[in-house]
Amino acid sequence: MKTDYDCIIIGGGPSGSTVATLLADAGRKVLVLERTQFPRFHIGESLMPETYWVFKRLGMLPKMYASHFVRKHSVQFVSASGRESQPFYFEDMNPHECSVTWQVVRSEFDEMLLDNAAEHGAEVWENASATDVVFEPTETDDYPRATGVVVKRGDQPPVTLSAKVVIDATGLSSLIQRKLDLKRPDPNLHKAAYFAHYKGAQRDSGRDEGATLVLTTKTSDGWFWYIPLPDDIISVGVVGAIDRLTGRKAPPEQVLEEEIANCPALIPRLANATRVSQVHVLSDFSYRSKRCAGEGWVLVGDAFGFLDPMYSSGVFLALKSGELAADTINAAFDNNDFSAAALGKWGPSLADGMQSIRQLVYAFYTPGFSFGKFVREFPNFKRNIVELLIGDVFKPGVNDVFNPMQAQVKIPSFTPLEDPAGKVPAAVMQRV
């Protein structure tokens, strides 16, 4: 049966734009459905250096170098007492241009990626809502096969478009993940975040001007990100236990101000600053899907999983998942095999990389643990930590750092990816 498209991608964010570009480059007929009109606000401004290599494949490097985005050379940690660690300079470990990355304005950055996908041949519809994914049962009791998407554009009646592969890049909305009951929250990372943009805040000088700062509250029950952006803007956000932050009956603006007062090292940096955005709130955002793919469908970016924002891994994992998924989907077309096993081959690799970053997150949240102290005790593992901070999580041996760390950090296990031959609960099939 003739299909309308080879691939329909739901969502035009970084993961959707990446997979669209690489599929279009391979000659696939690609449609991207984006429910909003870009540019639009989004959090997650700090990039990991390893995004460089995905940018190179996408043809994005000249655009990134021509942008006004702030260059990021390092990350620095500030303790509850206000003691500043030595900056972790990425280029000290690898003097390559890839070691200096960017602090981006997501509204501009995401639009650049989506425009790039269109330039590479992907068809892009903005203000187009995917209201449903069309499934049909397979011959087994496995998860159903995706065959198309129901699309609503403005005042027009909904239409159903067919595709060989439907890629869910809907971010936290996780359209397919919710419909098939695939979401698995991290039981030990129930966190919330309150964040806003400030103008006129203190900025460091030299190559520290674009550094990401991670500042612990004086009571060690939360931490702040401090990310310099263009036009004298700083992104400031606090992350803490969901019950502690959202449990107080106060407006978001008050919660954020109270938390700033609870972080002495942050107060002088914001002394002359003015908040220039509303205060945004996110909660319970650490999770991962049981699967990355089924017959005729794939999950990428936040639709597959999201980690705590501690190490700014969100955009990197979105780009990397889009790249890995695109290569796998292209192979599926070459082999005319759109089974769950064929489309999901890339999942274990990404899940392993996510687990490496997750272990680093748990180290940070362990009471009494200090990266500065750990490096002083085990100086030969400083390279491993920097490699993890830049996103080089697929490098052989990088996880060796967690062997000596085990004595100080308890890292709970997480649900492994499900075998594509697993059975789907009857209740899920009824919803489909």
For residue 237, the domain's CATH number is 3.30.9.100
In a domain, 175, yes or no: yes
Angle between helices 14-25 and 314-335 (to 10 degrees): 30
**Is 83 a domain residue?**
no
Task: Spell out a b/e string for 300-326, using b for 16 or more CB atoms within 10 Å of the CB, else e.
Answer: bbbbbbbbbbbbbbbbbbbbbbbbbbb
pLDDT at 414: 67
Are the beta carbons of 16 and 126 closer than 8 angstroms?
A: no
Closest CA to 371 of 223, 260, 238: 223
Q: For residues 241 and 312, state if they share a domain.
A: no
Half-sphere exposure (Cβ direction) of 30: Cα atoms closer than 13 Å: 31
The kind and range of the H/E element at 356 are: helix 347-365
Name the domain boundary from 224, 259, 283: 283
Structural tokens at position 320: 């990397």
Say what the pLDDT of residue 111 is.
98
Structural domain includes residue 78? no
pTM (two decimals):
0.92
Strand, coil or helix: 401: helix
Does residue 65 sit in the same domain as residue 163? yes
State how many domains the chain has: 3
Which residues span the domain enclosing 31? 5-69+104-186+287-354+423-431
How far the first Cα of the chain sits from its last, in Å, is 22
In the numeric block, which tokens belong to residue 177? 């993940």
- Final residue belonging to a domain, choices 283, 317, 336: 283
Residues 345, 210, single domain; the answer is no
What is the DSSP pairing of strand 287-289 with strand 101-103?
Answer: unpaired
Domain CATH for 172 = 3.50.50.60
Distance CA 25, CA 29 (A): 10
Nearest CA-CA partner of 193 in 355, 43, 317, 363:
43
Closest CA to 166 of 133, 200, 194, 202: 133
Name residues whose C-beta falls within 8 Å of residue 57's C-beta, 6 or more positions apart in sequence: 22, 323
Same domain, 204 and 267: yes
Render each residue's pLDDT in the chain as its tens digit; 432 residues: 468 999 999 999 999 999 999 999 999 999 999 999 999 988 889 999 999 999 999 999 999 999 999 999 999 999 888 888 888 899 988 889 999 999 999 999 999 999 999 999 999 999 999 999 999 987 764 789 999 999 999 889 999 999 999 999 999 889 999 999 998 888 888 899 999 999 999 999 999 999 999 999 999 899 999 999 999 999 999 999 999 999 888 999 999 999 999 999 999 999 999 999 999 999 877 889 999 999 999 999 999 999 888 888 999 999 999 999 999 999 999 999 999 999 999 999 999 999 999 999 999 888 888 888 898 999 999 899 989 989 999 999 999 999 999 888 887 776 667 755 445 444 444 444
Same domain for 368 and 342: no
The one-character DSSP state at 14 is H
What is each CA distance from 323 to 316, 318, 319, 346, in whole angstroms? 11, 9, 6, 10
Q: Are 176 and 60 members of one domain?
A: yes
* Main-chain dihedrals φ then ψ at residue 68, nearest 5 degrees: -95, 15
270 and 292 assigned to the same domain: no
For the chain, what is the total number of helices (H) and then of strands (E)? 15, 21
Q: Answer yes or no: do 171 and 197 share one domain.
A: no
One domain, residues 133 and 204: no
Distance CA 344, CA 341 (A): 5
Answer yes or no: do 250 and 137 share one domain: no
The single residue listed with the structure tokens 């650490």 is 286
* Residue 240, amino acid: G
Maximum separation of any 2 CA atoms in the chain, in Å: 66
pLDDT score of 350: 93
* Residue 397 included in any domain: yes
| Cβ neighbours of 402 (radius 10 Å) | 18
CA angle 417, 419, 423 (to 5 degrees): 115
Is residue 168 one of the residues assigned to a domain? yes
Residues 301 and 271 in one domain: no
Q: Quickly count: other Cβ atoms within 10 Å of residue 173's Cβ.
A: 15
> Would you state the torsion angle of the CA atoms of residues 335, 340, 346, 350, taken in this order, to the nearest 10 degrees?
170
Which of 283, 306, 325 lies at the terminal end of a domain, its last residue?
Answer: 283
Q: What is the pLDDT of residue 100?
A: 95
Residues 178 and 127 in one domain: yes
What DSSP string describes 223-254?
EEEEEEETTTEEEEEEEEEHHHHHSS-S-HHH
Judge whether 94 lies within some domain: no
Q: Is residue 316 part of a domain?
A: yes
Other residues' Cβ atoms within 10 Å of the Cβ of residue 217? 21
Asked, for residue 218, whether it belongs to a domain, the answer is yes
